[in-house]
């Protein structure tokens, strides 16, 4: 049931994005060629390639994958629209545009999926975290003060300043964290 809810919530922004992206060229220019569908195919090809590259690195939960790939990005499966528009171009006698539309949609989507994936891999290399980090837990009393500040605030700000993988306050209001595999210290 949770996955169905995630898909439904993901479809809303995905559907609206698809609608506005595909309608934009037709509202702004008089054209015979189905640029809206090509734009959606290409742009969403890039986004899904980038998202998949990030998912391979970050390894989010299956629920997050369902929300992103089936919910938000799943509604951008415009293959049937592209096929119908190609058929309509053929029926109208626009054979040249139909023959341009077929490879344009296929190659644009495929190349941009690849480009998105490659860019995400480069992005991951730039923000590379250490493979293994150590977890340090500090227990602080609610009335403790350090140099006039609450200790959890000092710790979180210092962790950010030192560019550490992260820090988390369980009873306070601040949080700073980059994803990595945490290995608890053994005493």
Together in a domain, 92 and 140? no
Pairing outcome for strands 175-177 and 166-168: antiparallel
pLDDT at 118 over 60: yes
Together in a domain, 84 and 174? no
Together in a domain, 61 and 92? yes
d(CA 81, CA 89): 12
Q: Does the model's pTM come out above 0.85?
A: no
Together in a domain, 32 and 86? yes
Element (H, E) at 133: strand 132-135
Together in a domain, 20 and 111? yes
Query: Vertex 71, ends 65 and 75: CA angle to 5°?
Result: 130
Together in a domain, 91 and 159? no
Together in a domain, 18 and 89? yes
Together in a domain, 137 and 122? no
List the domain range (segments joined by +) for residue 15. Answer: 2-126
Asked if residue 134 lies in contact with residue 183, where contact means CB atoms within 8 angstroms, the answer is yes
Please provide the average confidence, as pLDDT, over all residues in the chain. Answer: 77
Residue 91, sorted as left (phi over 0), alpha (psi -120 to 50) or beta, turns out to be: alpha
Give the CB-side neighbour count of residue 138, counting CA atoms within 13 A.
13
Which of 126, 154, 170 terminates a domain? The answer is 126
Structurally, the chain folds into a number of domains equal to: 2
Over residues 13-21, mean pLDDT? 77
pLDDT at 173 over 70: no
Together in a domain, 72 and 153? no
d(CA 111, CA 108): 5
Pick the more confident residue, 170 or 111.
111
Q: Is 71 exposed, middle or buried (0-12, 13-18, 19+ CB in 10 A)?
A: buried
């Amino acid at each position: 049931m949770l996955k169905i809810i995630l898909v439904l919530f993901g479809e809303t922004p995905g559907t609206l994005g698809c609608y506005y992206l595909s309608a934009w060229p037709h509202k702004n220019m008089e054209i015979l060629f189905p640029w809206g569908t090509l734009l959606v195919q290409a742009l969403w090809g890039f986004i899904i390639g980038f998202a998949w590259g990030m998912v391979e690195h970050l390894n989010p939960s299956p629920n997050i994958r369902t929300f992103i790939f089936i919910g938000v990005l799943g509604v951008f499966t415009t293959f049937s629209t592209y096929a119908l528009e190609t058929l309509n171009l053929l029926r109208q006698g626009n054979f040249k545009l139909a023959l341009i539309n077929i490879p344009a949609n296929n190659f644009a989507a495929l190349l941009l999926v690849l480009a998105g994936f490659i860019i995400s891999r480069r992005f991951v290399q730039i923000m590379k975290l250490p493979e293994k980090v150590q977890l340090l837990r500090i227990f602080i009393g609610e009335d403790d003060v350090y140099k006039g500040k609450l200790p959890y605030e000092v710790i979180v700000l210092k962790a950010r300043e030192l560019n550490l993988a992260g820090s988390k306050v369980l009873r306070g209001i601040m949080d700073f964290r980059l994803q990595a595999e945490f290995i608890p210290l053994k005493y």
